[in-house]
A and B are shown apart, each in its own frame.
Chain A
Amino acid sequence: MQFALLIYHSPEEFAMRKNDYNDPHLGAWRAYYKALVEAGVYVGADALEVPETGTTVRVKEGKRRVQDGPYADTKEQLAGFIILELPSVDAALEWAARCPGASLGAVEVRPLAPEAKRRGFTG
């Protein structure tokens, strides 16, 4: 079964990330990824740029609407995601608790839709 760990950061955490390689948590993240890969559960992951760089698009009644900034107007914002292959949601919660993002902000665990369903979406 595949699970997504959706990582949410506070504005302070994003601010720290801006100074490129000065992020004090870089070591913890790097170690976390290593542990995921070596435990054989890692499928993929990526980090997102800071929320201010986002642009939100909607098409309403045939009209395009473009808005500056991220979709959700919340204090904590999506900062990245990790996809893991795991036997159960219990194991996914365990890995989420070890994620540096869990002590810095929040990590949402969400199962990926089953593969057959995903193929339906993506053709």
Chain B
Amino acid sequence: MIETRRLTKKYGGVAAVEDVTFSAAAGRVTGFLGLNGSGKTTTMRILLGLSRASSGQALINGRRYRDLDKPLRQVGSVLEQGLSHPGQSGRDHLITQGLLCGASRARVDRLLAYVGLAEAARQRSGDYSLGMRQRLAVATALLGEPPVLVLDEPANGLDPSGMAWLREMLRDHARAGGTVLISSHLLAELVQLIDDVVIIADGRVRLTAPLAEVAGDRVPRLRVRGGDPNRLWDAYLRAGAEVDTDGRVLFVSGLTAEDAGEIALHVQVPVYELVSETPNLEEVFLSLAASDNPGTTPTGLAGRR
């Protein structure tokens, strides 16, 4: 369980994060989403004891990171890219880190195989590609077999197969009861993976909710193109729907596709197109993440910030 309470970090008079409160539950993957510079990394660094909060608390399993017993056995993390001495081989890097958390060399070799770096194990990590460095970082995070994972943009540099591997690994980790907090500036990167979402913008949390709820709150709308838009408009309004137009196309909210079709039949207007448009989560994310003002939260999501 990860929890932040009213976390604030100021540099001079400028707040990098302010009053950040959210939690990431065990057995779930929590996506920490925000545009670049929104405060994700600052929050994660405070959580991991690398930066000090100006006020507020960041707790892992109820304790500050620095108070955890054998922290690498409890929390694995991926921060920045390519955190290894470039003159050290990938294997030596993992052994060095393994000595910090008591991981055996056999575990190091197993992890190298697991992340697909067995063949490059004795190669200098400075010669690794971006994707290989990211795999090495993930292996480093897993060394202590920690139940909690904190991953800052771990997908950077991974190819599609690497992304699929990462998704599967994190899903398995959560299914086994682990806690995963993963950040990204791209919702599309995480949407197939996360259970819960925390959106941060300008250093403030804009939304915390289960992803399914976010999607569910977005009222689907129908795109209707018929022979007589004006008669259809009137009919749908009379049925209590909200109607918008774009030329000869109507956008109808508050009716099912069946209702919309039957109303069109009833008023004897031929329908050439009737499509239910699924909510676009990327739009939700962008509208929240780019928001300068919490008051601009889209309808349907307000009140859960």
A pairs with B: no
A interface residues, Cβ below 8 angstroms from B: none
